[in-house]
Chain A
């Protein structure tokens, strides 16, 4: 039973355009969400996060939007650059001191020059 779903396995966009990566979750106890970026044969690196008390968090070219009622979040990258080509994982954390991150399967983003 997948609690964090990234239903589109891949996305291809033109350099300079917007990339929108989507993530859905089913567990209403999740209250903190993170996006990680991963290059092949490397560990994931933290990109941006959002708490459930917010609906938007922005960091440079990266913005994460959270729609709690729809249990949906999205990562926007504007403008997209070829170096953004990587796998992007959405992760969610429930409330509680002993909570663990749950990861989605990832989306492979390709930015065409």
Chain B
């Protein structure tokens, strides 16, 4: 079954801690994206990668980091510099720049 998987479903972060959210896809898509959704808000782009070993900042990249060492994987690290990390994080992938396919999401909560 082709698709995008995100893990974990729920993640708890302590103050000052870095946490990493996993995103894997087996759709053979070149492009991958990370979005953040807050209540009553749309999806805001954190980082995106159009090809392996290359990525660009989105609209709200501060406090986050990513890597793209493999085509199928695009992990997102929420660093201690992100002062308001509580949100629903969504990973997506696409062949071109048009239709994006989303994973099930990870909800990050701060203890």
Contacts and interface: CB of A to CB of B under 8 A. Distances in A.
**A and B assemble together:** yes
A42 B6 CA distance: 11
Given A46-B99, A49-B98, A103-B42, 17 more contacts: A4-B42, A36-B102, A41-B88, A42-B104, A43-B4, A43-B92, A44-B43, A44-B90, A44-B102, A45-B102, A49-B99, A98-B50, A98-B56, A101-B100, A103-B35, A105-B41, A106-B42
Interface of B: 4, 6, 35, 40-45, 48, 50, 56, 58, 88, 90-92, 97-105, 107
B59 to A, nearest CB: 8
Contacts, number: 55
A105 B40 contact: yes
B97 A43 contact: no
B102 to A, nearest CB: 3
Interface string A1-23: 00010100100000000000000
A99 interface: yes
